[in-house]
Structures are given as C-alpha cells and as structure tokens.
C-alpha cells in the first residue's frame, strides 16, 4: 500500500505578478515509489559542458520536463568548479540556490543532492538550509552528503582539503541530530555547534532523509551509523558490481550493530541513448529500446534497490522522456 498522505500548503507562482495557493499531497514516507515500487530519477545538467551551460530558465524547463515524463526525482550535485590538467576550467551553478528555485518550480518530484559537499559549509548551517528547502518543497527533499574529492575547487575557494573523513564524521554528528531532534550540543576538533537548535522545524518531524554516498570501509561504517540511505555509483547492466558492494555495506552494518535492511539502497546508473549506428553492448551502461531499458531497471528493482538515479547521455529532456517511457513499461 502507498504511504499515508497528508496535505501541505504551498505557494506556487503562476506568473511574474500573482500567486495562488493550492493543496498538494505528499507521502509521509518517501523511500519507495508508487505501491512500494522502485523510484527512478535523473541527474540534471547544471554544469558547464564544452564551454556551454544551461541558463536557469533552461535548467528549470528541463526539470519540469522530467517531472512531466513521470520520473520520480531530479538530482543536482555540489561543486564550485572543475579543473583538470591540460583542460580549461569548467563552471557550475551553486547548488543550494538552484535547489531553492527548483523547490518552488516543481510540484511532485523529489529533489535530491548527489551529493552535497559537506566541507563547503558549516554542518549546522547546512542542516538549517536543508530543513528550509524541505519546507519550500513541501517535504520533497533528500539530503545526499559526501566528503568531497576534487582538490582544485577546495584550493581555489580557500577551503581545507585535509582530514576529509574526520571532518565528515564530525559533520554527521551535528547534522543528523539537528535534523531528527532539532538540537545538538557538540564541540569537536574541526566543528562546533554548542547548544544549537533548528527553529522553526520543517514539514517532517525527523527532517529530510540523509543519504550518504560511500564505498571505502570507513565511509561505509559512517553510512551504517548515521544515514537513512546508502548510495553507490556508477553502474550499468553488470549486477555483480552491486552484489559485491552490498556485501561490504552489509558488513559495515553488522560491525556497528545495525540491521542492514533498515538502510535504503540507492544506485547511480549510466543510461545512454546513442544514435542507432552507435549502439553498444557494453555492460557499463544501460541502453537500448524502451523495453530493453525497462528490463535493466527491473533487474535493479528485483535486487532490492529502492531508488535508481540515472545519469543520462545525452543529458537532455528528450532522454528523460525516453526513460519515462521505459518506466511506464516497468510499472505495468
């Protein structure tokens, strides 16, 4: 059965000059799709590609077309710039600003981060921002967290790159109690949040769900200790990779004394829609006809995955519409 529904009020801009208030209904539990089925979402194209970047109006329209295609979620990622050897610097829109705008622009899809780079902001402030976006969206936000990996952006913006996992662990000790209980009193080596409170609270008593992307042992243990959901990426049609990674996650749960079935499993997958003469049988990505893509999605659903997050190539609304067709086939 679907999760219980409750009404939330949301102000929706109908044009540049007037607003109207409408009733929307969202599930109290957002861990699964219709009738408990696996959810499917997409990563939005918010970063510069070959010197070109979508303006916000175009990014908004892309998100709305994903919503119209029947997808369950749209996801953004948190970077400040990309700088690789022998390549020009590439840019990206700041993620919290984009999230806030998309929270108002969309009405049904969940909004997730894959992932939010924790060291870019103080963890108490990050929790405050998460609750606020959850409020604006009517309880549709998923807070995906990571420790960061691209040192050039840390250096360019003057942020420390050392002790990343130590900092991440301290951040979780601040973020999770603030979201779930509304308060924390913490003093650590890298962060402090003395007698901190989140007021007002958002639309969900325990705040937005926390997702952690992890694959190394210490990060897996932190996921098992603090997260609602675990993410692993980027996979294709080779299900053996998922099996191996889940064994490591299960072992981490056992180590900290947690039932692994209480950790929601999310997976990032590559979905490609090449031209007919460029089709490949590589297991690194999902591809093919709507029926073939639906079959690949079904394999993940049957493996117990709760949420599939798709990086589409080309990353355009037309790909989302094709993915939406596969999703409709899956759910027949």
Chunk the chain into consecutive blocks of 10 residues (it has 332) and report each block's average pLDDT, rounded to whole numbers: 29 29 34 81 96 96 98 98 96 97 98 98 98 98 98 98 98 98 98 98 97 97 98 96 96 98 98 74 88 97 98 96 98 93
pLDDT digits (tens, 9 = 90+) for 121-179: 999 999 999 999 999 999 999 999 999 999 999 999 999 999 999 999 999 999 999 99
Task: Say if residues 306 and 298 touch (Cβ distance below 8 Å).
Answer: no
C-alpha angle 175-45-300 in degrees, rounded to nearest 5 = 70
What tokens were used for 266?
Answer: 């999310």
Q: Is 276 helix (H, G, I), strand (E, B) or coil?
A: helix
pLDDT at 310: 98
d(CA 94, CA 258): 35
For the chain, domain boundaries: 36-330
pLDDT at 278: 62
Longest alpha-carbon distance in the chain: 62
pLDDT digits (tens, 9 = 90+) for 99-127: 999 999 999 999 999 999 999 999 999 99
Q: Rounded to 5, what percent of the chain is helix, strand, coil?
A: 40, 25, 35
Q: Is 234 helix (H, G, I), strand (E, B) or coil?
A: strand
Task: Say if residues 179 and 127 touch (Cβ distance below 8 Å).
Answer: yes
pLDDT at 280: 62
Question: Would strands 19-27 and 5-13 be described as parallel, antiparallel, or unpaired?
Answer: antiparallel
pLDDT at 307: 98
Q: What is the pTM (predicted TM-score) of this model?
A: 0.89
How many helices (H) and strands (E) would you count in the chain? 9, 13
What tokens were used for 28?
Answer: 């109290």
What tokens were used for 73?
Answer: 């979620």
Segments in 48-122 forming alpha helices (H): 56-68, 95-105
pLDDT at 283: 81
What tokens were used for 168?
Answer: 């991440």
CATH superfamily of 36-330: Luciferase-like domain (3.20.20.30)
């Amino acid at each position: 059965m679907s999760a219980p529904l409750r009404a939330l009020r949301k102000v929706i801009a109908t044009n540049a000059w007037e607003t109207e208030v409408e009733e929307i209904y969202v599930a109290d539990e957002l861990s699964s799709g219709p009738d408990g089925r696996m959810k499917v979402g997409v990563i939005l194209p918010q970063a510069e590609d070959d010197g070109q970047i979508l303006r916000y109006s175009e990014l908004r329209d892309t998100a709305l077309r994903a919503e119209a295609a029947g997808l369950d979620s749209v996801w953004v990622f948190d970077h400040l710039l990309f700088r690789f050897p022998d390549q020009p610097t590439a840019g990206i829109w700041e993620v919290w600003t984009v999230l806030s705008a998309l929270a108002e622009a969309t009405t049904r899809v969940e909004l997730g981060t894959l992932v939010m780079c924790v060291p870019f902001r103080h963890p108490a402030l990050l929790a405050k921002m998460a609750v606020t976006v959850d409020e604006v969206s009517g309880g549709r936000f998923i807070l995906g967290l990571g420790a960061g990996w691209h040192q050039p952006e840390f250096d360019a913006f003057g942020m420390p790159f050392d002790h990343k996992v130590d900092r991440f662990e301290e951040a979780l000790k601040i973020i999770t109690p603030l979201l779930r209980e509304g308060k924390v009193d913490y003093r650590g080596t890298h962060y402090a949040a003395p007698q901190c409170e989140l007021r007002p609270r958002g639309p969900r008593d325990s705040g937005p769900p926390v997702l952690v992307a992890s694959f190394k042992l210490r990060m897996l243990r932190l996921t098992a200790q603090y997260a609602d959901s675990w993410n692993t990426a980027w996979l294709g049609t080779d299900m053996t990779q998922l099996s191996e990674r889940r064994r490591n996650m299960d072992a981490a749960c056992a180590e900290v004394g947690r039932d692994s079935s209480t950790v929601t499993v999310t997976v990032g997958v590559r979905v490609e829609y090449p031209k007919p003469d460029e089709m490949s049988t590589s297991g690194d990505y999902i591809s093919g006809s709507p029926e073939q893509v639906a079959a690949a999605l079904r394999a993940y659903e049957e493996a117990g995955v709760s949420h599939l997050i798709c990086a589409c190539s080309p990353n355009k609304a037309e790909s989302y519409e094709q993915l939406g067709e596969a999703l409709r086939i899956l759910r027949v």
